[in-house]
Amino acid sequence: MEDLGAVGVVTLLPRPRVGTVAKAALLVVALVAGGACRSSDDAAGDATPAAPGPSPVADVEATHPAPEPDVADAPAPEVEPAATQEPEVAESPSDSPAESASPEPPEPPPARIESTPIPRSVPIPLEGTWTHEPSGVVFPVEAAGFRRVDAKRYDREGNDVEVDYRRLADGFPLVVSIYVYPVPRHADGRPMTFDEQFTDERNAVRHGRADLEVRGSSGARLAAEGILGGRGVVVRSEEYSFTMRAGAMSARVRSVLTSIRMDPWRLKYRVTLPEEHAEGSMARMEDLFASLDLPPTGLGEAKPILEEGR
């Protein structure tokens, strides 16, 4: 599903060779491994996160962990007290949420889908193509050069799930996490609007990151054709650049949050990866979503696919 968490997803790096660049790569893995993104993407930790609560997406980012890097003895990041004030965030002038987000269709009260939290996530044993029957989203074994490597559920009913895909990109293991879950609800049981949900999600990513830069944002309604079997959806995305730290080490990373309104369901993508691997990896990530018949993020070269303002 913050110290970073959505559309989850984070990075694995091979054990580096000796050298400055290699040390930087190891640092990113250590940072991603040590942190708490429907995933807290800074926070791809070793511990299974607490089960999602009935309340808002402030907890949603902490609910789903990002994929765990395969790095031994990675230093854990220092835990800092929660910031008392949100930092100023630099946004791309041409891609500010206010300019790029298109009007959403009215949100009728979504049907209530039961999702009873469990103490720990439970692996989903999969063989062959798997369909999340409640939502109809299909997850094949392989797609666009990626291979399905993990699946788990976060509730009793199996309505709240995560599926991870992995592929090597120029020798770098890229992991993309995709979450499917019912519409989040407030503590009093009221359904959250998509606007409330995304605002909470992006605030969780931005929280406490004084050097965070918003590199791009997008919001649009997609035409039904070719997406999720003909269903119209609303997509909102933000792309970030910031410094991850573990003790005395630090490295610059790129991170993507994408949330998708597909009433009465929500989808989420999360990815965090080293800055130097960002451009090529972003294109491969979009190839995966297209192959899975899922919406694009609307960021970068994927933006023309979105039908802004319709």
Give the per-residue SS3 of 13-61: CCCCCCCHHHHHHHHHHHHHHHCCCCCCCCCCCCCCCCCCCCCCHHHHH
Walk me through the domains of the chain, giving residue ranges and CATH numbers: 20-78+88-305 (3.40.1000.10)
Cis amide linkage into residue 264, ω under 30° from 0:
yes
Residue 232 pLDDT > 50, yes or no? Answer: yes
Q: Answer yes or no: are the C-beta atoms of 164 and 176 closer than 8 Å.
A: yes
Antiparallel, parallel or unpaired: β 90-91 and 213-222: parallel
Residue 78 pLDDT > 50, yes or no? Answer: no
Over residues 278-304, the mean pLDDT reads 84
Structure pTM? Answer: 0.67
Residue 144 pLDDT > 50, yes or no? Answer: yes
Give pLDDT, residue 173: 86
Residue 141 pLDDT > 60, yes or no? Answer: yes
Q: How confident is the model at residue 112 (pLDDT cuts 50, 70, 90)?
A: confident
Interval 18-77: pLDDT, tens: 344 444 444 454 444 444 344 444 333 333 444 444 434 444 444 554 444 443 344 444
